[in-house]
Amino acid sequence: MSSTAITPSPLPLGRRAKRFMADRPLIPLIILLVILVVILQILRPGIVNERWIANTIKFAIPLAILAGCQTMTMLTGGIDLSVGTVATMSAFIMATQIVNQDPAVAFLLAMMPAVLIGLVNGIGVGVFRVHPLIMTLGTTLIGTGCLQVYQRTVIASGAKIPDFLAWLGTGVTPMLGFALPNALLLFVPLAALIVFTLARTGFGRLLYAVGDNERATRLSGVQYWQVITALYVTSSLLAGITGLLYIGLIKAPSLSLAEPLVLPSVAAAVIGGTSIFGGRGGYTGTIIGALILTVLTTLLTILQMPEGARRILFGLIVLFVTAAYLRIVEDK
């Protein structure tokens, strides 16, 4: 009795393409980014040049750093809505304290709210088990109120943008035939540190473990509250640094300086492949997600859409991209 070997039939082309995308999640993001740039060039010929690239990177970097905060917290199944307030507080305090204080002292004063809010968030979420959404929303409201009170006490002294922050935020340095934004001097080491921390350190592995299965992590002897507290303090410190960079870019201290970046930072992390349920994601995809949103904002501005229509279209595109990306990954 003879037996015939059964050879598996080849997968359909669409299925193979989907599996290829799932194995290499950065590829669809890069393709989308290129498509947006091509559309931009078609709509406004000549816009994609060295100056435009430098400006896009300048505005994408603060968003990418805040999105890094969201990436790390989302890996644990959480979220940090206080990053916008922390960035605004650090920027505003720096701009007002630099008038009468030494730059080093002004920097320390500017970072104090970041450490404090990070500790409160970490203890609230890690020890008292308050949901991260509620906890960070509460500290956002408290921080905003404190900033308004602080603003009244320094309104007579005025504000000043330190020269080194303006240089870092808006300056460019010619190198290898390109005008590289000075902000890359800050962003590249920070991005490398976040990527290395998530991929190569025990703390990074704990973030993934907590998000993947918190109960199993606890049973293995991990001190959950310590991991969460360290996470939110780190997130707030990154947000504080973002605020200092952003005020050097915008050059106009206000009580709502970085607030518009909060929801886009969440969107950049999700578009970059970080799961809101925790346990999956990475910072490299988040960086590309921040670039996608920055280019998309430029595209909508060129189309001269009314603000309402721009917000609607922006939200729809973010939802579509997120749904498509998650479908690719989940069908792996």
- What is the pLDDT, as a whole number, of residue 312? 79
Burial 202-213 (b: 16+ CB within 10 A, else e): eebebbbbbbbe
| Any domain includes 283 | yes
3, part of any domain: no
- Residue 313, domain member (yes or no): yes
pLDDT of residue 305: 79
Tokens of 246: 């952003």
Residue 302 in any domain: the answer is: yes
Entry pTM: 0.91
Mean pLDDT by 10 residues, the chain (332 residues): 54 60 77 94 92 95 97 95 97 95 95 97 97 97 96 88 94 84 96 96 96 89 95 98 96 91 90 86 95 91 78 73 64 56
CATH assignment of the domain containing 311: 1.10.3470
For residue 178, the model assigns a pLDDT of: 79
Residue 17 forms part of a structural domain: no
d(Cα 128, Cα 120) in Å, to the nearest integer?
A: 11
According to the model, what pLDDT value does residue 1 have? 47
In a domain, 298, yes or no: yes
Tell me if 29 is assigned to some domain.
no
> Domain of 238?
49-326
pLDDT of residue 16: 62
| Residue 220 belongs to a domain | yes
Count of domains observed in the chain: 1
**Are 87 and 243 a contacting pair, CB within 8 Å?**
yes
pLDDT at residue 313, as a whole number: 72
Helices (H), the chain: 13-23, 26-43, 50-75, 83-97, 103-126, 132-154, 163-170, 184-200, 202-212, 214-219, 224-250, 262-271, 283-302, 307-330
